Amino acid sequence: MVSGVTGAAAPESGAGSSSGVGREETKGKGSARARGSRKASRPRFAFQTKSENDVLDDGYRWRKYGQKAVKNSAFPRSYYRCTHHTCNVKKQVQRLAKDTSIVVTTYEGVHNHPCEKLMEALNPILRQLQFLSQL
DNA sequence: CGTTTTTGACCTGCGC
DNA sequence: GCGCAGGTCAAAAACG
């Protein structure tokens, strides 16, 4: 485990670079996207972990649903989501340009299904999470 | 065969 | 009002 829980709630805004928006094929996407009726609070916590592996097994399964590059790091950021349908938890992993060995894992939301393994593993860290939750 | 991963495109929100 | 940035979804392909 990493002995260094650096929690940082960073609602970073701005920055970014070019976004290739070019259309080529006819797909016709964009329908009714229920995005805006979400009033439930969504806690956001960022943790810096020192690992060469992007995704660490927290005891849950994560499915990558996207990758975008950020100007802040010049490196692509990876977006992960919990494979549980009852779990609307999202994870965001970004590598530091200064230290590629350091990965910033940002968790969004809370798990809706029980997981003793994760509970025990994050028991000490969970305490920190709750502390940050009050902030 | 099932699941997962990867790339592209599109939409939404906010800023200026 | 328009532009920019970021975030998400979708389909296909690859791998177990």
Domain ranges of chain A: 42-131
Name which of A53-57, A69-73, A99-103, A126-130 the model is least confident about. Answer: A126-130
Residue nearest to nucleotide C11 (CA to C1'): A27
The CATH homologous superfamily of the domain defined by A42-131: WRKY domain (2.20.25.80)
State whether the beta carbon of A81 lies below 7 angstroms from any atom of strand C: yes
The residue ranking higher by pLDDT, A6 or A44, is A44
CA distance A111 to A87: 5
Name the closest nucleotide to A92, judged by C1' and CA: C7
Q: How confident is the model at residue A120 (pLDDT cuts 50, 70, 90)?
A: low
Residues 6+ apart with CB under 8 A from A23: none
Chain A residues 4-63, Cβ below 7 A from strand C: 14-19, 21, 29, 33
Q: What is the mean pLDDT of residues A106-133?
A: 63
Q: Model's pTM, two decimal places?
A: 0.70
What mean pLDDT is reported for chain A? 66
The pLDDT of residue A112 is above 50: yes
**What pLDDT score was predicted for residue A44?**
77
Our measurement of CA A66 to C1' C16, in angstroms, reads 22
**What amino acid occupies position A15?**
A
* C-alpha of A75 from chain center: 15
Per-residue tokens: A120: 């025990």
pLDDT in tens, A58-108: 768 899 999 998 876 778 889 999 888 778 888 888 887 777 778 888 888
**What pLDDT score was predicted for residue A64?**
92
